[in-house]
């Protein structure tokens, strides 16, 4: 098992968003290196996507991510109430080439803040398949 390069932080509030501008996701945890999502969508491992996260101040930040894991996840109604019932996938992704602005935006997600929803979505536009 590979050791993580950076610490993971549990999301202190529910982060909801959209995959493909249609499918919802919930973020389980986030770090400087990557993010873990749960969704009804199963992306292709090795593919690159764009993810857009929207902060509490309605600021939107775009990130390029590469999917490194997509496996079936159990449904937990209390944890994933924002998602429609059905087959869920736990999706691991790493951030690619983050700028200083993106790093600062990620730091804001790792701070302990009151509960509330942050939204985002993943776009398939410009998807780059894995090699």
> Residue 80 — very low, low, confident or very high, per pLDDT cuts 50/70/90?
confident
Query: Whole domain around residue 74: which residue ranges?
Result: 13-128
Q: How many residues does the chain have?
A: 131
In sequence order, the 6+-apart residues with CB closer than 8 A to the CB of 119 are 15, 16, 17, 18, 53, 54
pLDDT of residue 114: 46
Q: Residue 64 is part of a domain; what is its CATH number?
A: 2.40.10.220
Mean pLDDT of the 50-75 span: 84
| Number of domains forming the structure of the chain | 1
pTM of the model: 0.70
Q: Is residue 3 part of a domain?
A: no
Tokens 């919802």 belong to which residue? Answer: 24
Q: Is residue 7 part of a domain?
A: no
106-121 pLDDT, tens per residue?
Answer: 887 666 544 544 445 5
Mean pLDDT of the 2-30 span: 68
- The residue that leads in pLDDT, 27 or 78, is 27
């Amino acid at each position: 098992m590979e050791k993580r390069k950076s610490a993971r932080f549990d999301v202190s509030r529910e982060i909801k968003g959209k995959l493909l501008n249609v499918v919802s996701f919930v973020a389980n945890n986030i770090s400087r290196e990557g993010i873990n999502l749960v969704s009804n969508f199963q992306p292709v491992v090795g593919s690159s996507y764009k993810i857009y996260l929207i902060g509490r101040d309605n600021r939107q930040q775009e990130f390029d991510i590469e999917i490194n894991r997509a496996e079936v996840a159990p449904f937990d109604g209390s944890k994933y109430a924002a998602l429609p019932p059905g087959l869920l996938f736990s999706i691991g992704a790493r951030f690619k080439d983050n700028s200083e602005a993106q790093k600062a935006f990620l730091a804001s997600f790792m701070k302990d803040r009151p509960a509330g929803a942050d939204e985002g979505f993943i776009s398939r536009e410009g998807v780059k398949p894995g090699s």
